[in-house]
């Protein structure tokens, strides 16, 4: 396990659809106590997604003839606004600025405060950012809090697979790579995980947990007890959880 002082480093990818399903119904307040509790035992880095709001901006951009990489830049801007909102809600326990590079994230992490960031470069999603960041800070684990309760053998939301799709409790990284290999790379696309992210995880052997972030307590429970709704992904299919007490 990689440690900073006595604290493990944990990177949490918080989907925009989890944190801000809409501007009227957000989960920012619900996530603050969970993040504070985790941060008492670990050095926490959070990567916030853009969610539906980013996709709506990207749709408008496309409708006026904007190219894909510029549309991505618009998506990145939304992720950074979402990151700013979470920083604001966390208060002094969070570093006050949103890093725009991995170097900045590392540097802000030296404050031992929670670091919150969004996207970095076009052509990927914040899943990829979280995977690169996890490698860069030598995290003990990457947690991907999403709107589905783990990784399935096929898309359970597709009526053709609804009855046969099987949820994995644990899975190898190689198997996850196989599952996401067919995904789209268009701006705003919505797959279980970004292919770039899975390749990064595979490359550095980073343990990953994909879990249902619609209930913030699930994130805490995964890290504290190892009991949660989701899937553990690792090189050999074993679980490093629980990680904090
Ligand atoms: P997200 O990471 O939010 O994508 O980035 P998502 O798959 O919609 O995730 P959820 O719904 O939040 O879980 C939003 C968009 O911003 C651009 C991409 O277009 C992405 O689809 N983006 C984000 C980048 O181009 N680069 C980045 O590093 C991050």
Structure tokens given for 132: 């690169």
Q: Which residue, judged by its Cα, is nearest atom 11 of ligand 1? A: 51
Q: What is the pLDDT of residue 126?
A: 97
Structure tokens given for 195: 């292919």
Q: What is the pLDDT of residue 205?
A: 95
Residue 208 phi/psi, 5° resolution? -135, 140
pLDDT in tens, the chain (245 residues): 444 567 999 999 999 999 999 999 999 999 999 999 999 999 999 999 999 999 999 999 999 999 999 999 999 999 999 999 999 999 999 999 999 999 999 999 999 999 999 999 999 999 999 999 999 999 999 999 999 999 998 888 888 888 888 899 999 999 999 888 865 444 444 468 889 999 999 999 999 999 999 999 999 999 999 999 999 999 999 999 999 98
The angle subtended at Cα 110 by Cα 72 and Cα 240, nearest 5°, is 75
Residue 7 phi/psi, 5° resolution? -100, 130
Buried b (16+ CB within 10 A) or exposed e, 132-144: bbbbbbebbbbbb
Beta bridge partners of 211: 145, 230
Give the torsion through C-alpha atoms of 93, 134, 152, 224, to 10 deg.
-50
Q: How far, in Å, from the CA of 6 to the mean position of ligand 1?
A: 33
Which is it for strands 141-146 and 115-117: parallel, antiparallel or unpaired? unpaired
Whether the CB-CB separation of 180 and 171 falls below 8 Å is answered with no
Q: What is the pLDDT of residue 156?
A: 83
Number of residues that make up the chain: 245
Cα–Cα distance measured from residue 239 to residue 237, given in angstroms and rounded to the nearest whole number: 7
Pocket of ligand 1 from Cβ distances under 6 Å: 15-17, 49-51, 54-55, 58, 72, 75-76, 79, 119-126, 129, 187-188, 190
Q: What is the pLDDT of residue 185?
A: 41
Q: How far, in Å, from the CA of 132 to the mean position of ligand 1?
A: 15
Atom of ligand 1 nearest to the CA of 128: 28
Q: What is the pLDDT of residue 162?
A: 85
The closest alpha carbon to 125, from 213, 218, 15, belongs to 15
Ligand 1, pocket-test mutation among 18, 50, 105, most atoms within 8 A of CB: 50
Q: How far, in Å, from the CA of 19 to the mean position of ligand 1?
A: 13
Q: What is the pLDDT of residue 183?
A: 53
Ligand 1, pocket-test mutation among 15, 126, 184, most atoms within 8 A of CB: 126
Structure tokens given for 233: 């992904």
In this prediction the pTM is 0.94
Q: What is the pLDDT of residue 188?
A: 45
Residues with Cβ < 8 Å from 106, sequence gap 6 or more?
Answer: 136, 137
Q: What is the pLDDT of residue 137?
A: 97
Helix spans in the chain (H): 16-19, 28-39, 51-63, 68-90, 102-109, 126-136, 173-180, 195-204, 216-225
Whether the CB-CB separation of 208 and 144 falls below 8 Å is answered with yes
């Amino acid at each position: 396990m990689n440690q900073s002082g006595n604290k493990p480093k944990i990177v949490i990818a918080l989907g925009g659809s989890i944190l801000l399903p809409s501007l009227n119904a957000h989960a920012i307040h619900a996530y603050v106590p969970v993040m504070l509790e985790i941060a008492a035992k670990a050095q926490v880095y959070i990567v916030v997604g853009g969610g539906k709001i980013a996709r709506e901006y990207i749709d408008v951009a496309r409708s006026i003839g904007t190219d894909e990489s510029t549309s991505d830049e618009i998506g990145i801007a939304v992720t950074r606004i979402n990151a700013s909102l979470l920083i604001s809600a966390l208060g002094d326990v969070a570093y006050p600025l949103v890093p725009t590079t991995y170097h900045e994230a590392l540097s802000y992490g030296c404050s031992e405060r929670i670091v919150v960031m969004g996207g970095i470069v076009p052509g990927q999603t914040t899943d990829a950012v979280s995977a690169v960041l996890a490698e860069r800070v030598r995290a003990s684990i990457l947690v991907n809090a999403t709107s589905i309760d783990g990784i399935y053998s096929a898309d359970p939301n597709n009526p053709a697979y609804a009855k046969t799709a099987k949820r994995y409790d644990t899975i190898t990284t190689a198997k996850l790579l196989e599952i996401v290999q067919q995904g789209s790379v268009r701006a705003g696309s919505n797959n279980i995980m970004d292919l770039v992210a899975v390749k990064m995880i595979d490359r550095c052997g980073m343990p990953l947990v994909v879990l249902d972030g619609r209930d913030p307590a699930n994130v805490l429970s995964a890290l504290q007890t190892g009991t949660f709704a989701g899937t553990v992904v690792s090189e050999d299919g074993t679980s490093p959880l629980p990680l904090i007490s």
